[in-house]
């Protein structure tokens, strides 16, 4: 008898455990390669694990609700008479787990993992790819290419995070590659169309399906604008925005249950631990300032129209990020770490951006942001938020931050008193930017105004330094041309 054990992988680059939330299969079920086996929750996100085996489930080794350690076997699958991953793919899958054992096979014959499997069978574990050519997907409503093999559909949803702002859609992270047509000029222009309009299946990568589920969007009603007829992130966000007006005016009925009890675990447990540690170990002090952001809004408008920024997400947050980096250079002590023995002043900026996701708050950071041009910083911020939304933020991305920015303005908030990210001594909150009456040269005019709020660790940052730092940031928001100095 040939059996294969599936070991809990390290899906978060450094995470040591995960909770088994829900099994998607039961003993006796026949499973295929890439079929979702189990849903797990880590300290970062909810993740679905696909099967690297085809076979029959013989035993579930960990019950739902139990926390398992990375490397622990969680399921056994009998693979007799079933194809398994080809050797190159299996090798890549194991390498991707950073030397962790992801799956093994036990055979009473010779221990061979791929007995009877075709070397070129094309079996692909979602998320790992293959060592050979990338398969292509047939265009919707068109004939399949004679030189391209259709990719296996990936209907199961993958982990995803949603940020507070819409972002420019990107299909670079698709598990199954979509090949570009050989000759763009030979392809007729394709109109966006919904799946219901053509009566066919919906093509969308797993993170997009998860995003649609989180936003309560019916993918069959979404107009697909992807190059190969797939639904993109922007398509889902656009559909959600159109429906949000109607959803927001609806008030749900009171629940029939008098109380609801939510277990403290996963991301929420990690957030709680970090915030309590920060609030009770660092004496916070907060300062605020109202700022005329009219010229920042004009600058953002010009950048959006610039060919150099074509396809790059540009927002006031980009200008504020650049302002923080500039102000840190003038006030380096706000970019420090406190220890019981010394204060470590960092002469580099790993700029953290607080991202609100359905799973909770995470703070990934842009490494060495002080070395980046405005375009490079815009691209880095966009990639950071895309990774957070798709649940691809690595543990390394959230380590060694030096100062943080949080954009509460996207929720319509004027300001707040943010809590420091542990290990840092400064955090700045950007409030909503809206038109208000503002005195200019003795006259009341309508200007775009925002409120900046910042919190500091008073053990490191004195009141005068905190005030100078915030004043420097405000100066850039009021006049972005100062960045040219």
Task: Report the CATH number that the domain containing residue 82 is assigned in CATH.
Answer: 2.40.50.100
Q: pLDDT value at position 143?
A: 43
140-144, 289-293, 469-473: range with lowest mean pLDDT:
140-144
- Can you tell me the mean pLDDT for 5-29? 82
Same-domain check for residues 201 and 310: no
Q: Which of the four pLDDT bands, split at 50, 70 and 90, describes residue 43?
A: low
Task: Report the CATH number that the domain containing residue 166 is assigned in CATH.
Answer: 4.10.320.10
- Are 37 and 51 within 8 A, CB to CB? yes
Bridge partners (DSSP) of residue 56 are 30, 78
**Tokens describing residue 429:** 């909150």
Q: Does any domain span residue 99?
A: yes
Same-domain check for residues 239 and 276: no
Q: Which of the four pLDDT bands, split at 50, 70 and 90, describes residue 258?
A: confident
Where would I find the beta strands (DSSP E) of 293-340? 336-338
Same-domain check for residues 274 and 394: yes
Cα torsion for 358, 363, 364, 367, to the nearest 10°?
160
Res 61 pLDDT > 70: yes
Q: pLDDT value at position 171?
A: 38
Same-domain check for residues 55 and 203: no
Q: Which of the four pLDDT bands, split at 50, 70 and 90, describes residue 279?
A: confident
Q: pLDDT value at position 291?
A: 96
123-127, 206-210, 296-300: range with lowest mean pLDDT:
123-127
**Tokens describing residue 222:** 């979404």
Name residues whose C-beta falls within 8 Å of residue 429's C-beta, 6 or more positions apart in sequence. 405, 406, 407, 408, 415, 416, 417, 418, 452, 453, 454
Q: pLDDT value at position 431?
A: 94
For residues 203 and 195, what is the distance between their CA atoms, to the nearest angstrom? 8
Ranked by mean pLDDT, the top range of 172-176, 377-381, 406-410 is 377-381
- Maximum distance among all Cα pairs of the chain, rounded to whole angstroms: 91
Could you please report the per-residue DSSP string of 350-375? Answer: -EEE-EEETTEEE--EETTGGG--HH
- Mind listing the pLDDT tens digit for each residue in 72-118? 899 999 887 655 554 333 433 443 443 333 444 444 433 344 433 34
Same-domain check for residues 315 and 230: no
Of 22 and 243, the structure prediction assigns the larger pLDDT to 22
Q: Which of the four pLDDT bands, split at 50, 70 and 90, describes residue 428?
A: very high
Task: Report the CATH number that the domain containing residue 479 is assigned in CATH.
Answer: 3.30.559.10
Same-domain check for residues 281 and 339: yes
Same-domain check for residues 106 and 166: no
Q: Does any domain span residue 390?
A: yes
Same-domain check for residues 334 and 449: yes
Percent with pLDDT over 70 in the chain: 69
Same-domain check for residues 238 and 278: no
Same-domain check for residues 285 and 219: no
Q: Which of the four pLDDT bands, split at 50, 70 and 90, describes residue 51?
A: confident
For residues 101 and 8, what is the distance between their CA atoms, to the nearest angstrom? 8
Q: Which of the four pLDDT bands, split at 50, 70 and 90, describes residue 230?
A: confident
Same-domain check for residues 354 and 226: no
Q: Does any domain span residue 325?
A: yes
For residues 301 and 308, what is the distance between their CA atoms, to the nearest angstrom? 13
Q: Does any domain span residue 330?
A: yes
- Can you tell me the mean pLDDT for 199-221? 75
Res 150 pLDDT > 70: no
Q: Does any domain span residue 378?
A: yes
For residues 309 and 313, what is the distance between their CA atoms, to the nearest angstrom? 8
- Can you tell me the mean pLDDT for 211-216? 77
- Can you tell me the mean pLDDT for 289-315? 92
Same-domain check for residues 276 and 234: no
- Are 57 and 97 within 8 A, CB to CB? no
Q: Which of the four pLDDT bands, split at 50, 70 and 90, describes residue 403?
A: very high
**Tokens describing residue 377:** 């910083």
347: annotated active-site residue: no
The region, left, alpha or beta by phi > 0 then psi within -120 to 50, assigned to residue 412 is left
Q: pLDDT value at position 471?
A: 95
Determine the Cα angle at 315 with ends 311 and 320, to 5°.
Answer: 135
Catalytic residue, chosen from 168, 284, 346, 458, is: 458
Q: Does any domain span residue 126?
A: no
Q: How many domains does the chain have?
A: 3
The per-residue pLDDT of the chain, averaged, comes to 75
Res 453 pLDDT > 50: yes
For residues 277 and 287, what is the distance between their CA atoms, to the nearest angstrom? 22
Residue-number span of the structural domain to which 219 is assigned? 157-172+191-244
Q: Does any domain span residue 259?
A: no
Q: pLDDT value at position 459?
A: 92
Q: pLDDT value at position 234?
A: 80
Q: Does any domain span residue 80?
A: yes
Of 389 and 67, the structure prediction assigns the larger pLDDT to 67
């Amino acid at each position: 008898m040939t059996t294969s054990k599936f070991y809990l992988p390290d899906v978060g680059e450094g995470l040591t455990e995960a909770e088994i939330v829900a099994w998607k299969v039961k003993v006796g079920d026949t499973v295929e390669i890439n079929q979702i086996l189990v849903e797990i929750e880590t300290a970062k996100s909810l993740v679905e694990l696909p099967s690297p085996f085809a076979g029959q489930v013989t035993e579930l080794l960990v019950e739902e609700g139990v926390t398992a350690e990375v490397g622990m076997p969680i399921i056994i699958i009998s693979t007799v008479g079933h194809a398994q991953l080809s050797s190159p793919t299996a090798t890549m899958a194991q390498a991707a787990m950073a030397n962790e054992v992801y799956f093994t096979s036990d055979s009473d014959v010779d221990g061979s993992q791929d007995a009877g499997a075709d070397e070129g069978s094309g079996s692909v574990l979602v998320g790992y790819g293959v060592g050979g050519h990338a398969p292509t997907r047939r265009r919707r409503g068109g004939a399949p290419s004679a030189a391209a093999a259709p990719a296996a559909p990936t209907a199961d949803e993958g982990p995803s995070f949603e940020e507070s702002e819409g972002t420019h859609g990107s299909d670079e992270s698709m598990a199954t590659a979509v090949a570009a047509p050989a000759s763009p000029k030979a392809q007729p222009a394709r109109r966006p169309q919904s799946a219901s309009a053509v009566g066919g299946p919906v093509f969308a990568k797993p993170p997009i399906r998860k995003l649609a589920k989180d936003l309560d969007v019916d993918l069959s009603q979404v107009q697909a604008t992807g190059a190969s007829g797939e639904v993109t992130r922007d398509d889902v966000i656009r559909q959600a925005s159109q429906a949000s007006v109607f959803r927001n005016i609806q008030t749900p009925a009171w629940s029939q249950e008098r109380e609801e009890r939510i277990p403290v675990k996963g991301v929420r447990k990690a957030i709680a631990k970090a915030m309590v540690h920060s609030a009770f170990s660092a004496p916070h002090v907060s300062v605020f300032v109202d700022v005329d952001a009219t010229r920042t809004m004009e600058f953002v408008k010009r950048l959006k129209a610039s060919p150099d920024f074509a396809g790059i997400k540009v927002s006031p947050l980009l200008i504020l990020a650049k302002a923080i980096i500039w102000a840190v250079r003038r006030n380096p002590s706000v970019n420090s770490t406190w220890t019981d023995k010394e204060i470590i002043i960092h002469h580099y900026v790993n700029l953290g951006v607080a991202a609100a996701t359905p799973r909770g708050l995470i703070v990934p950071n842009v490494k060495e942001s002080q070395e980046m041009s405005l375009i490079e910083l815009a691209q880095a911020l966009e990639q950071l938020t895309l990774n957070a939304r798709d649940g691809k933020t690595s543990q390394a991305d959230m380590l060694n931050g030096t100062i943080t920015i949080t954009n509460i303005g996207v929720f319509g908030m004027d300001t707040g008193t943010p809590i420091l990210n542990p290990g840092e001594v400064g955090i700045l909150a950007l409030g909503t930017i809206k038109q208000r009456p503002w005195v200019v040269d003795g006259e009341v005019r309508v200007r775009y105004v925002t409120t900046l709020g910042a919190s500091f660790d008073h053990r490191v940052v004195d009141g005068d330094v905190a005030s100078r730092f915030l004043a420097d940031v405000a100066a850039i928001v009021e006049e972005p041309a100062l960045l040219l100095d």
